[in-house]
Amino acid sequence: MESGVLCLLRLSLRPVLLGYFLGLNDLIVSSLELTVHAGEPALLGCAFQSVEGKRVTKVDWTFSPQEHAQVEYVLYYYANLSVPVGRFQTRARLAGALSHNDGSLLLRDVQEADQGTYTCEIRLELESRVFKTEVALHVLPEEPRELTVHVGDSAPMGCAFQSTEEKLMTKVDWTFSPGKHAKEEVMLRYYTTRGRPGGHSQSGGRFQSRVALAGDTARNDGSVLLQEARVSDTGSYTCSIHLGNLTFRKTFALHVIPEEPRALVTTVARSPEVLGGNHLVIIVGIVCATVLLLPVLILTARRIHGSKSSGMSTALVKSLEDRDKAPPEKHVYSSINTWEVTKEEEPSDRSEATYMTMHPVWPSALNYPPEKKWAEGVPQTGRAF
């Protein structure tokens, strides 16, 4: 019976001891999540407490965009040498104190392609186990770095240092420059005091009493709100957040333009006012002048109308006279061919021949009576038998 128990105990201890010496028993310390905007830095924490006092010998940071995607190296540390790899070569560096078992990674200028899972593996000297930390990084679209507001409006400017570590910012500086080569002005300063909770903020210069912290300092958010913007506030604003020996900077360009003219004008109803003595005199004078000038205006209108009527009648008479003076008519002649009838051609049943002779006729003589036509010498047609 005892031999059977000892055999089972040996079989169960062998895989454990084998995994211990081969380093197969990994210890996952934590799994974290972090959300940042594109273009901002991200501090990925990887630290643990060791009571044994063993120093860190190796740190590996790897990245996987998806669950079953190919893993790529971000950075590795070995023999006191830190080496970033691949597309992270100029943007990644160790930010933790390795003497305190802190292998945190600072990733600058985060890109949308950086979204995925980051895995940190730390190995200690004379230790077979591997301490792991996984951080799921979510990347949001980049926030605008250029703002345009009207005079009198408020201008919010965000500035936050996203980190999975519980490190509190120790200082925040906001500076302003109206041009590239102009001298910088301090807009706001925030700093903490050791042994005292919270911090103290101070604004100065032209921004005094117009700017205030709007972010949560407990979450490393140093955002500000600039109120009552002026045209002279146009320029460049730089935010600097300090977390121990780490510093994060962000720059904004602010444009303040004059207020646009309003298209709609609202009328304000005025309260009725009591007329004084001078107002009454003016109104009475206007009424009297109108009554006196009214007959004069009526007579003038009548005269103008009469002159226009006489002019129209004169023009009508003149046009009728011109119509009566018509130019003399031309003579109208009409000829009728006559035929001579010879005795041979004359039919036997007719005993006489008829002929007519046409004379010029005056058209004006056609309206005369028959008795006046002869008196004036107008001949009549006759017949010859």
Q: Amino acid identity of 198?
A: G
Q: What is the mean pLDDT of residues 350-366?
A: 51
Q: Ranked by mean pLDDT, which of 124-138, 250-264, 349-363 comes out on top? A: 124-138
Could you tell me which residue, 209 or 279, shows the higher pLDDT? 209
| 162: nearest Cα among 245, 214, 222 | 222
Whether residue 203 contacts residue 188, with contact meaning beta carbons closer than 8 Å, is answered with yes
- What local confidence, expressed as pLDDT, does residue 287 receive? 82
Task: Say whether pLDDT at 317 is over 60.
Answer: no
pLDDT range class, residue 51, cuts 50, 70, 90: low
- What local confidence, expressed as pLDDT, does residue 182 receive? 84
Q: Which residues contact 363 (CB under 8 A, 6 or more apart)?
A: 329, 332
Task: Say whether pLDDT at 290 is over 90.
Answer: no
φ/ψ of residue 294, rounded to 5: -65, -45
- What local confidence, expressed as pLDDT, does residue 23 receive? 45
Task: Say whether pLDDT at 348 is over 70.
Answer: no
Q: What is the mean pLDDT of residues 297-304?
A: 81
Per cent of the chain over pLDDT 70 is 65
Domains 29-140 and 146-257 share a fold: yes
Fold category of 146-257 in CATH: Immunoglobulin-like (2.60.40)
Task: Say whether pLDDT at 63 is over 70.
Answer: yes
Q: List Cα–Cα distances, 313 to 83, 302, 303, 305, in angstroms.
A: 115, 17, 16, 13
pLDDT range class, residue 363, cuts 50, 70, 90: low
- What local confidence, expressed as pLDDT, does residue 64 receive? 92
What is the separation of C-alpha 308 from the centre of its chain, rounded to a whole number of angstroms? Answer: 64
| 251: nearest Cα among 140, 139, 191, 173 | 173
Could you tell me which residue, 325 or 293, shows the higher pLDDT? 293
- What local confidence, expressed as pLDDT, does residue 44 receive? 92
Q: How many residues does the chain have?
A: 385
Burial of 99 (0-12, 13-18, 19+ CB in 10 A): exposed
Per cent of the chain over pLDDT 90 is 31
Q: List Cα–Cα distances, 283 to 270, 291, 292, in angstroms.
A: 21, 13, 15
Task: Say whether pLDDT at 357 is over 50.
Answer: yes
Question: Phi-psi bin for 323: left (phi > 0), alpha (psi -120 to 50), beta?
Answer: alpha
What are 12-46's pLDDT values in tens digits?
333 333 343 444 456 766 788 999 999 999 999 98
Task: Say whether pLDDT at 203 is over 60.
Answer: yes
Q: List Cα–Cα distances, 69 to 38, 44, 76, 140, in angstroms.
A: 22, 21, 20, 21
Whether residue 222 contacts residue 215, with contact meaning beta carbons closer than 8 Å, is answered with yes
| 355: nearest Cα among 376, 384, 331, 328 | 384
pLDDT range class, residue 346, cuts 50, 70, 90: very low
Could you tell me which residue, 214 or 314, shows the higher pLDDT? 214
- What local confidence, expressed as pLDDT, does residue 251 receive? 92
Task: Give me the residue spans of the domains in the chain.
Answer: 29-140, 146-257
Find out if CATH 2.60.40.10 is the number for domain 29-140: yes
For 299, what's the count of Cα atoms within 13 Å in the CB-facing half-sphere? 5
Q: Are strands 130-140 and 27-37 parallel, antiparallel or unpaired?
A: parallel
Which runs of consecutive H residues, i.e. helices, occur in 197-346? 277-324
The span from the CA of 236 to the CA of 274, in Å, is 56
